[in-house]
Structure 1
Amino acid sequence: MLSTTASNLYWMSRYLERAENLARMLEVSYSLSLMPQDDHGNGLDELAMPLIITGTLDEYLEQHGEMHAERMLNFFGLDANNPASIYCCLQAARTNAHAVRGRITADMWENINASWLEVRDIAQQGIARYGISHFCEWVKERSHLFRGATFGTIMRGEAYRFIRLGTFIERADNTLRLLDARYELLGEDIDEIEGRSARSYYQWTALLRALSSFEAFAEIYRGSPGARKVSELLLLRTEVPRSLRSCTEELYSMLTSLPGDNGRPAQRLAAELEARLRYTTIDEVLDEGLHTWLNDLILLIRELGQAIHSSYLEVA
């Protein structure tokens, strides 16, 4: 497969997964901002969290001067001038899909094109009028429909593998960043208060719901969610679809099934990452320090993404 084609497929799925992840991030911050606040902050502080995680807080403040709920929601969700907005991610996904129209199925193209046409109509209304919860659910639904169309209609060839690589690189990075942001917000002494703090309970529950893992948590663990249990679930439980370990297993599987020797650096990194997670316990993670461990893994995921790019996506 031509590297330009592989790149378009990879980034098509990556941008679509990013749009879904941004919607999940926005949804959890918005819901927590509506809760009664304590001495730790206010609703606007909570709404700023997606901007902090995505590194767009300075850009927002430069344009708008101060935190304002409706302006922030439109900036993060529907601002065509913000490259990190959900709107721009869907636009980029559609552009990449159009470039490889002949390599994806009609169902896939119709879904992603319809999503782009719909988000343009939503942008005309504004996010407050459309409804923030409604908007976030719509973004997730469109992503789910595209993923279902992909899984159900495309041949299991190289195109499929590059689409999956883009999805799971983006998902792994998002899981790490969301978990790190919540942990930092609650503080390093969270284990001393988990199970006794209402704030702790709702923060961790919101994170689990944002990553569609609340039901899995309730099935696997007893008691209230806290740093240890939630971190183990989202990092090391292979049966949880959005966990880091589940993502790395998929990445390793896709990379090792691609033909040729060009991808050996990426395959080696994926194998090392998969083995590290397979033989790591949550006690080892917490002993090292969850924030330190998460940032180390964020860098490794970035390194793996760069290796995939240099191995397969760069034009020779």
Structure 2
Amino acid sequence: MLGRTANGLFWMFRYLERAENTARLLDAGLRMALTRDHTSAREEWRSLIGASGQQASFDAKYDGDFTGSNVWNFILRDKENSANILSTFEQVRTNARMVRNTISSEVWEAINESWMNLESQLKRPVAQGNLGKVVGDVRRAGTLVHGAMAGTMLRDSGFHFARAGTFVERADSVARILDIKYYLLLPSLTYVGSSLDTSQWDNVLRSVSGDRAYRWLNAGEIDARGIVEFLVLDERFPRSLAFCHSALRDDLASLAKLHHAQGACNELMREADMIMTDTTIDDIFEKGLHEFLIEFVNRNSSIAAAIAEDYRFTA
């Protein structure tokens, strides 16, 4: 497979995952803001901008005015925000067009129809009454595309590059959300393990669509330590860091087998896998959650860069 095609598939699914994760974050922020007083709601919107990595560009335009309509329109459609969801999904479609001959008709149709729907809805500012539908449509777009891929694509190199992009992006997103949310929720390390604010911790879970799974496994009990262990180490949850790296390891192994050679990405993946396998929740808190997550994000980024180098994405 040509490097440009591998690159297109890898980034098509990275952008798809990024748009979907941002929509989840926005949905969780809206739920929290609607149940809080004015001051707390503004803080929740500020937290959402921080978690989405758009603090500097938002401040440049709004100078800290964290009203809900400013925040959600900035994240969804603002042209001054190059990482807005509409632009991100446009990148999904652009990459899909570039690799059109390697994806199934069903995958292309799911992407193209979702793009046209979102473009129509985001031509004008979104009112609060329409926000839920827009966010839901972004999330459904991800579900449709992933479902079409799982049900119709050959398990060849293209399939594994697409999945690799998905899990690289998912791991990065969950780690960053957990880092920023945890930092904001715990003003001091003395609060580790406490039930500082049950509704806020529930929001952390909603941000990664893990609230129902976590409650089922833990009989509805919400606590910070348990949530961190669930989102970092529980391989049963498909958005945990451990699950993402396990899936990424398998896809990189499949690519190495198909190309009859292993590369730097496989070696880095083995090292990351050993670290994750040997890590306990006590180890994480002893090191410091922030420090652990920063190291994880850096390792994840190194693996992504090695994939691009090994398979000549720029060739």
TM-score after normalising by structure 1: 0.93
Change (3 A) 1:222 1:211: same
Q: Secondary structure at the match of 1:266?
A: helix
Aligned residue among 34, 37, 40 for 1:42? 40
2 CA distance for matches of 1:241 and 1:87? Answer: 25
1 CA distance for matches of 2:130 and 2:181? Answer: 25
* Residues 230-274 of structure 1: CA deviation (Å, up to 9, x unaligned): 011111111111000100011100111113366521011111112
Maintained 8 Å contact 1:12/1:94: yes
Maintained 8 Å contact 2:179/2:293: yes
Of residues 41-50 and 71-80 in structure 1, the stretch that sits farther from structure 2 once superposed is: 41-50
**RMSD across aligned C-alpha pairs, in angstroms?**
1.8
Give runs of ≥4 in structure 1 deviating > 3 Å.
Answer: 259-263
Partner of 2:51: 53
Maintained 8 Å contact 1:101/1:109: yes
Q: How do 1:1-316 and structure 2 match up within 5 A? A: 1-37=1-37, 42-67=40-65, 68-128=67-127, 131-187=130-186, 188-191=189-192, 193-194=194-195, 197=196, 200-222=197-219, 224-258=221-255, 259-260=258-259, 263-316=262-315
2 CA distance for matches of 1:3 and 1:81? Answer: 31
* Residues 259-298 of structure 1: CA deviation (Å, up to 9, x unaligned): 3366521011111112221221111111111111111111
1 CA distance for matches of 2:230 and 2:128? Answer: 36
2 CA distance for matches of 1:163 and 1:98? Answer: 14
Maintained 8 Å contact 1:5/1:100: yes
Maintained 8 Å contact 1:108/1:146: yes
* Residues 167-222 of structure 1: CA deviation (Å, up to 9, x unaligned): 0000001111111112111113333631xx4xx21111122122222222122224
2 CA distance for matches of 1:290 and 1:168? Answer: 21
Deviation (angstroms), 1:92: 0.3
Q: Secondary structure at the match of 2:279?
A: coil
1 CA distance for matches of 2:24 and 2:254? Answer: 31
Structure 2: any 5+ residue segments left out of the alignment? Answer: none
**Aligned-partner residue type, residue 65 of structure 1:** D
Maintained 8 Å contact 2:194/2:224: no
* Residues 17-50 of structure 1: CA deviation (Å, up to 9, x unaligned): 1000000111122222223359xx6322211223
Maintained 8 Å contact 1:263/1:308: no
Identity of aligned residues (%): 32
Kindly tell me the number of residue pairs found equivalent between the two proteins: 310
Of residues 246-255 and 290-299 in structure 1, the stretch that sits farther from structure 2 once superposed is: 290-299
Structure 1: any 5+ residue segments left out of the alignment? Answer: none
**Aligned-partner residue type, residue 61 of structure 1:** D
Q: Secondary structure at the match of 1:156?
A: coil
Change (3 A) 1:296 1:106: same
2 CA distance for matches of 1:58 and 1:262? Answer: 42
1 CA distance for matches of 2:217 and 2:7? Answer: 38
Change (3 A) 1:80 1:106: farther
Maintained 8 Å contact 1:191/1:226: no
TM-score after normalising by structure 2: 0.93
Deviation (angstroms), 1:130: 5.8
**Aligned-partner residue type, residue 155 of structure 1:** L
Deviation (angstroms), 1:224: 2.4
